[in-house]
Structure 1
Amino acid sequence: MDFTFGTETLDLVGYAASVVVLISFFMKNINTLRIVNSLGCAIFILYGFLFDTVNIPIIITNLGILVVNGYYLLIKKNDEIKEVKE
């Protein structure tokens, strides 16, 4: 099967990712910001894979941001919960 995407489809994925990341910065709650931003990063990672030649800089950057968001959402939150219990 051939899964090639036209320029219009590729652009739409990129625009969708950009809009989601932009929306994330309007969130008042930092956890909500990180969750919405992570969704935008995940779409950007997909976007990076859709190019004829995989766009490594887009993938690496957004994967890094996704990891940082995950760290603060999962690991740091667990550390804060432990501190409160002690």
Structure 2
Amino acid sequence: MNPDTATYIGYAASLFIVLSFILKDLTKIRIVNLIGCICFVIYGIFSGMLWPVIIPNGIICLVQIYHLIAAKNKHEQ
């Protein structure tokens, strides 16, 4: 991947993370934060396997997915 593209993905990730702090609806916060974390994982991979970026954001992705699924299941009951 072009290094400039990876940089833009990193900027997009930062934008999504900051945006998630502005929102008030918890589901929207989790979705926007999840998108940001996915972007950071992609950025970390294409910037030379930056494990300090990949690992925590990968874990946060899993946490956000878990909570989104749990909230969906709670609303269905």
Pairwise same-fold verdict (TM > 0.5): yes
How far apart, CA to CA, are the structure 1 residues paired with 2:15 and 2:71? 27
Which is bigger in relative contact order (C-alpha 8 A, separation at least 6)?
Answer: 2
The structure with the larger Rg is 1
Find the partner of 1:35 among 16, 28, 31: 31
Shift of 1:76: 4.3
Please list every run of at least 4 consecutive aligned residues from structure 1 whose deviation after the TM superposition is greater than 2 angstroms.
8-11
Matched residues, percent identical?
36
Shift of 1:19: 0.5
In 1, Cα distance between the equivalents of 2:10 and 2:58?
A: 15
What is the root-mean-square deviation in Å for CA atoms of aligned residues? 1.7
Which segments of 5 or more consecutive residues in structure 1 lack a partner in the other structure? none
What amino acid is aligned across from residue 69 of structure 1 in structure 2?
Q
TM-score under structure 1 length normalisation: 0.78
